[in-house]
A = this chain, B = another copy of it.
Amino acid sequence: MALTDFMDRHLPQIEMELEKCLPQAVVYPETLHKAMRYSTIGAGKRLRALLAVAACQMVGGSEFSSLEAACYRFAAAVEMLHAYTLVHDDLPCMDDDDYRRGKLSNHKVFGEGLAVLAGDALLTESFALLMQLVDLAIPADVTVKVTKELALAAGSRGLIGGQAVDLASEGQLVDAEVLRYIHTHKTGALFRAVLRGGALLAGASDTELEAVTTYAEHFGLCFQITDDILDVIGDEAKLGKRVGSDLESNKATYVSLHGLKRAKEMAKETAQAAHGAIQIFGDNRVLRELTDYVVARDH
């Protein structure tokens, strides 16, 4: 299946699942639920959800249709967890961003206190959603495995660790090693867990899981390099944030460390390596095209 067909088929389903899984805005306390929905519904490219579904489909093959409902629930949990990280990252005491995805950031609309709580709630509810996998034909032991993946990836030795080092590095020039730590943890760990989680839902063998993991690691790197490139050459209107902000804040990026030309080569090399990793799967077109999509994106 081509990526465009894949997106046409699954993106509306993912949005519907999120709409259904998030507490409605009329549920008390309404403002909290409005704040949770504000930063989750209709926002973002759903890259993590798409990766989860793609991995599950690639590994599951013809079995995928029986896994679809569980896979969407997993995808919704992942997007809620991702949304929490953005809400907290934008806080004045963190990156202090007034805009996110072209609209006011959560704390600018709802206030800092509620933004902290909305983020906390998105994180907590994402774990509650994962526990529902057992109601959707996923065995309890697989549910535990998938949840463990996500919790470790999102924890202090994963995503939050990366954010903590990023926070500590602000305004300082950091070396390539620290930069790599920040990226593999702040963004890479979640990509990895999402892809592995999708594969585990489909009952991946050890070999299959290893292939997906290698893909995930190259994909994460490719994503971050492209992100850094876009901060230099991107279109502000499409990005929904100011271009050159990394440069201004003296932030280490792949471009500042290696130059624009080399960074572009690196993006292509990591995409190639990602493709190579999943050659063992016959039908891997969606995940191949997803890396190309990441390299070619302009927002």
Contacts and interface: CB of A to CB of B under 8 A. Distances in A.
Interface stretch (A61-69, A115-123, A200-208): A115-123
A282 to B, nearest CB: 32
Nearest to A150: B127
Interface string A123-134: 111011001001
A257 interface: no
B120 A93 contact: no
A111 B120 CA distance: 18
Interface of A: 23, 27-29, 31-33, 36, 84, 88, 91, 93-94, 111-114, 116-117, 119-121, 123-125, 127-128, 131, 134, 139-141, 143-144, 147-148, 151-152, 154-157, 160-161, 163-165, 167-168, 181
A140 B144 contact: yes
A111 B32 CA distance: 25
Given A124-B151, A125-B156, A32 B164 contact: yes
B121 A160 contact: yes
B134 A151 contact: no
Chain A interface secondary structure, helix, strand, loop or mixed?
helix
Contact of A140 (B32, B139, B152, B165): B139
Q: How many copies of this chain does the complex contain?
A: 2
Contacts of A124: 123, 151, 154-156, 160
Nearest to A81: B124
Given A123-B124, A151-B125, A29 B93 contact: no
A139 to B, nearest CB: 7
A33 to B, nearest CB: 6
Nearest to A134: B144
A185 B28 CA distance: 12
A265 B88 CA distance: 43
Contacts of A91: 113, 116
Given A125-B155, A134-B144, A155-B128, A161 B32 contact: yes
A117 B128 CA distance: 21
Given A28-B161, A29-B165, A31-B164, A88 B114 contact: no
Nearest to A156: B121
A95 to B, nearest CB: 9
A120 B36 CA distance: 16
Contact of A33 (B27, B139, B151, B156): B156
B120 A88 contact: yes
A148 B164 contact: no
A131 B23 CA distance: 25
19 contacts: A29-B168, A31-B168, A32-B160, A36-B156, A94-B116, A113-B167, A116-B116, A117-B163, A120-B160, A121-B156, A124-B155, A127-B151, A128-B155, A131-B147, A134-B141, A134-B144, A139-B140, A140-B143, A144-B144
